[in-house]
Chain A
């Protein structure tokens, strides 16, 4: 495909074109909400902005465009793919927000504006080539998410969750900035390429050690990696469900993208120097990954609230993706990127079903889901598919992506067994544990009898979004090649 239409239109700003459209949408949204009295019109405009941005990015990605702007932003196969991920999350969230009973009515213009701005921040991080743009992009996404989490008004749980979110988020910002300042002190520059170049000659130093620890902790909060995960279940439970879905699938990937950007780049450069201790950092990531998936899955067993259970399960899923940071191979990164995509549709779909059911008066407790198989056959079936995909049952997408991801931890590219085989073992064991609490929901839906037999009719946008997630969860499972080639290109673009 030819990208000349877009490069002619945006000229030197082409690497930022998808974000600029998104930001434009965010800026006009408050004015749009003055014109429309109903939420549907506002939602249509925000969907149009996301669709335009999605179209631009799809053309750029399909044409293999790469370019950079002022050394601050660079568009390549990796950033294009990550932008696509954030756009799909935003699209799903914007599609259902207007028909949800949990989201604000009065301030829907501001809500849509913040949603688009948060997405733009995430997309800026995906293209960032400099510590400054990474930092500002992460903050743009974070600060807007604090408000989105608080925007379910007159709910004390949402208010409490937002306070926790803003304080933990502020703490993580402070830690990352401190780490970034140390990294700047060591390297003398904020450009990622410059830092990689200076580290490959300077090697390891104590200041660099502080920087690494601070950045793992700070961005670990964003990912909700154990032991920095305690805010996530509260926020996902307290926030409106479309927002929970946006945070669990989008905001979490943001931190992982930063990890990929900063650490993989540095360690690929650093591994050229013998004195450079990549092994220790890889072990640190391996331990964080093992703890994250184990604690996420084990605590999820005890949950009775389904949003909280999904929150802990998404903590565990982040642990699986962190395997990439321990293995640090191109194959692992391919699997990690693919799992990030499949996770968007299976976890996003599960959250959307919870949100749809809340709209028709079904509670958040797992016991409220009793007899759902009769009351809402399509939703119950879709939930079953999403939960089984999350657990990794073939032929669903979660199985395919987990196979690729875990096999990267067992064999490297040449078929030699790696030292991370124990990590793959822990991950497989965890998948088995997770099946227990997913099956509990399935049992409540299909086997146990509910108090009510009345059929449920959920809003049409929710059904559409759930159908999209369901289709992609199945298609990516049986035909992974659809996306896997893009993931492989992205991984080789990042490794250079």
Chain B
């Protein structure tokens, strides 16, 4: 049986990759994708904990997270579309008219 630490380490690496992408990427659609990666890292945690403690609540939480993530991406893409219409760009470097 695979030890639970392996799952947690995998999730932690996935979370770190996502966090790097959010901080470093210039294209905001890629940033949204990286946020999905971070959410999925948390989902893997939940599933691993639920499987190892034979408790179904963790899996319920994952379904909630997936639903919320879908809603968030739908809204996020719509807002990016709106920004593209208003400003002609969705690059993070083009969205800095307000600072401090």
Contacts and interface: CB of A to CB of B under 8 A. Distances in A.
A199 to B, nearest CB: 16
B83 A160 contact: yes
Contact of B18 (A139, A154, A174): A174
Contacts of B98: 157, 160-161, 233-234, 237-238
Nearest to B99: A234
B75 interface: yes
B35 A163 contact: no
Nearest to B50: A184
Contacts of A177: 39, 42-43, 65
Interface in A152-170: 153-164, 166-167, 169-170
B17 interface: no
Main secondary structure of the interface of A (DSSP, over half): helix
Nearest to B98: A234
Nearest to B74: A143
Nearest to B68: A139
A199 B61 CA distance: 20
Contact of B82 (A150, A171, A184, A190): A150
Interface in B55-97: 55, 57-58, 60-61, 64-65, 68, 71-72, 75-76, 78-80, 82-83, 85-87, 90, 95-97
Interface centre among A147, A153, A162, A174 (most CB of B within 10 A): A174
Interface centre among B31, B35, B39 (most CB of A within 10 A): B35
Interface stretch (A128-136, A371-379, A386-394, A480-488): A128-136
B49 A167 contact: no
B46 A184 contact: yes
B45 A163 contact: no
Interface residues of B, number: 44
A167 B42 contact: no
Contact of A167 (B31, B45, B71, B82): B31
B64 A160 contact: no
B55 A188 contact: yes
A332 interface: no
A237 B99 CA distance: 11
A243 to B, nearest CB: 14
A313 to B, nearest CB: 15
A171 to B, nearest CB: 6
A143 B61 contact: no
A417 interface: no
Given A135-B64, A189-B55, A190-B57, A302 B75 contact: no
Contact of A184 (B31, B41, B49, B90): B49
24 contacts: A132-B60, A135-B64, A135-B65, A146-B79, A147-B79, A150-B79, A153-B86, A157-B97, A157-B98, A159-B79, A159-B87, A160-B83, A166-B79, A167-B35, A170-B32, A173-B39, A174-B15, A174-B18, A178-B15, A178-B42, A180-B42, A180-B61, A188-B55, A189-B57
Given A150-B82, A163-B95, 14 more contacts: A135-B61, A147-B78, A154-B86, A160-B87, A166-B75, A166-B79, A167-B28, A174-B15, A177-B65, A180-B61, A181-B58, A182-B45, A188-B53, A190-B58
